[in-house]
Amino acid sequence: MIVNVKATNKINGEVISYKLEGEGFSGFLCDGTHMQEVADNKIREVNNNLILQGSPIYTIKSGESAKVESMTFDIEINAE
């Protein structure tokens, strides 16, 4: 499954968009790298919020959308 991620920084309004590929039970990759090992600090911070317990990334199904709110980012995910 492919999950489109769009995160908007609450402080400066910067928007980050990228894709994750994988399944909730086995983990996700971002450009071939595990989502927690991505070199870009901003993307890794968003991913760290997505892996928290109760996150919709574990239960989202193809065609669904969900929102995750953190202290720094408003995150929208859409599953293809």
Distance CA 7, CA 18 (A): 9
Which residue did the predictor score with more confidence, 27 or 2?
2
Confidence of residue 21 (pLDDT cuts 50, 70, 90): very high
Residue 23: the pLDDT is 85
DSSP states of 9-47: ETTT--EEEEEEEEETTTEEEETTEETTS-S-HHHHHHH
Q: Where do we find the tokens 């039970």?
A: 25
pLDDT in tens, 36-72: 899 999 999 999 999 998 899 989 999 999 999 999 9
Say whether pLDDT at 24 is over 80: no
- The domain locations on the chain are 2-79
